[in-house]
Homo-oligomer: A and B are copies of this chain.
Amino acid sequence: MKINFQNISKIRVRYGETDQMGYCYYGNYAQYFEVGRVEALRDFGFSYKEMEQQGIMLPVSEFQVKYSGPAFYDDELTIVTKIVSMVGARIYFEYEVLNPSGKSISKASTTLVFVSKSNMRPIPPPTSFIELMKKYEVNEN
């Protein structure tokens, strides 16, 4: 199932997120993508928090990122998050980070898996989630 849904979020680089290179530390982008993901879901009409309270979690199973330029302290970054596809219990997101000049400085993707909190095994996404996704389904003909 191919999806076409996009969210744009803003994140300002914190002082504690820089390293002595003077860049935003490469490991902190994982949190930025998580924020982009949660905001995309919220914007999409879905609360990740509520789903987790109902016993379904969504851990990351794969994460790839390419850094093509640095982010600096106090930069207000634009995080573009796309929900791209869903196959079984897996959902796939893509991300792009733009610096304050609008230059692309990073591209990333993640695969996440719907799992039951009780036994940590993959389960189908909630029905309400599938219904929402259908609104943004891309016809592949």
Seen from chain A, the residues whose Cβ lies within 8 Å of a Cβ on chain B are 12, 14-23, 25-28, 30-31, 34-35, 38, 47-49, 52, 57, 59-68, 70, 73-74, 120
How many chain copies?
4
What does DSSP make chain A's interface, helix, strand, loop or mixed? mixed
Q: Which residues of B contact A47 (CB under 8 A)?
A: 74
- A-B contacts, 10 of them at CB < 8 A, read A14-B31, A15-B20, A20-B52, A21-B52, A26-B59, A26-B60, A27-B30, A27-B31, A59-B67, A64-B64
Known: A14-B35, A16-B27. 11 other contacts (CB 8 A): A15-B25, A16-B30, A18-B19, A20-B21, A21-B59, A23-B59, A38-B74, A59-B67, A61-B68, A62-B65, A63-B63
A59 contacts which chain B residues (CB < 8 A)? 21, 23, 26, 67, 70
- Whether A19 touches B21, Cβ cut-off 8 Å, given contacts A26-B59, A74-B38, is no
Contact between A26 and B20, CB atoms less than 8 A apart? no
Partner of A74, one of B22, B28, B49, B120: B49
For residue A51, give the distance in angstroms from its CB to the closest CB of chain B: 11
State the 4 A-B residue pairs at the shortest beta-carbon distance, nearest first.
A27-B30, A18-B20, A26-B60, A49-B74
